Chains A and B, each alone.
Chain A
Amino acid sequence: MNTATEIAYLVAAASFILGLRMLGSPETARHGNLLSAFGMSLAALVTFFGDEMENYGWVLFGIVIGAVVGVVAARLVEMTAMPEMVALFNGSGGAASLFLGWVVHLSTSPNFFTASTVIMAVFIGGTTFTGSLVAWAKLRELTLAGKRLGGAYTFPGQRAINMGVLIIALLGGVVYAADSSGSVAAGGLAVGILLSLLFGILLVVPIGGADMPVVIAVLNSLSGLAACAAGFAVENAILVVAGALVGASGFILTTVMCKSMNRTLVNVFAGGFGATGGGAGTVVDGVVQPIMAEDAYYLLEAADSVVIVPGYGLAVAQAQHVVREMSDLLEKSGADVRYAIHPVAGRMPGHMNVLLAEANVPYDVLAEMDDINPVMGTVDVCLVVGANDVVNPAARDDECSPIYGMPIIDVDRARIVIVLKRSMGTGFAGISNPLFFRSNTRMLFGDAKTSLQQVVSEFKD
Chain B
Amino acid sequence: MIDDWFPLALVLLLSIFLGYELISKVPSTLHTPLMSGSNAISGITLIGAISAAGAAHNSGFSQVLAVLAVALATVNVVGGYVVTNRMLGMFKKKEREGDLS
Contacts from A to B (Cβ < 8 Å): 16-17, 19-21, 23-27, 29-30, 32-34, 36-37, 40, 43-44, 47-48, 50, 52-56, 58-59, 61-63, 65-67, 69-71, 73-75, 77, 79, 82, 85-86, 89-90, 92-93, 95-97, 99-100, 102-104, 106-107, 113, 216-217, 220, 223-224, 226-228, 230-253, 256, 341, 343, 346, 348-351, 353-354, 357-358, 360, 362-366, 368
Contacts and interface: CB of A to CB of B under 8 A. Distances in A.
B84 A33 contact: yes
A32 B33 CA distance: 11
Nearest to B88: A30
Given A107-B58, A220-B42, A239-B45, A47 B32 contact: no
A354 B84 CA distance: 11
User: Which of B3, B61, B69 neighbours the largest number of chain A CB atoms within 10 Å of its CB?
Assistant: B69
Nearest to B82: A74
Contacts of A53: 50-51, 54-55
Contacts of B12: 228, 232, 240, 244
A264 to B, nearest CB: 19
B24 interface: yes
Contacts of B30: 23-26, 29, 350, 353
Interface residues of B, number: 85
30 contacts: A20-B41, A21-B22, A25-B30, A30-B89, A40-B41, A47-B50, A59-B50, A59-B54, A63-B71, A65-B71, A66-B74, A74-B86, A85-B36, A85-B83, A96-B49, A96-B69, A99-B68, A223-B42, A223-B76, A224-B42, A232-B8, A236-B51, A248-B15, A248-B18, A248-B22, A351-B32, A354-B32, A362-B94, A363-B93, A368-B27
Contacts of A65: 71, 74
A99 B28 contact: no
Given A62-B68, A103-B66, A20 B38 contact: yes
Label chain B's interface by main secondary structure.
Answer: helix
B37 to A, nearest CB: 5
B29 A66 contact: no
B76 A224 contact: no
Contacts of B95: 362
B75 A19 contact: no
A220 B39 contact: yes
Contacts of B49: 62, 96, 99-100
Contacts of B4: 113, 235
Given A55-B56, A368-B27, A348 B35 contact: yes
Contacts of A240: 8, 11-12, 15
Contact of B72 (A48, A93, A246): A93
Contact of B38 (A56, A216, A233, A245): A245
Closest 8 CB pairs of A and B: A66-B74, A350-B31, A248-B19, A62-B70, A70-B79, A70-B78, A244-B15, A74-B82
A73 B79 contact: yes
B68 A253 contact: no
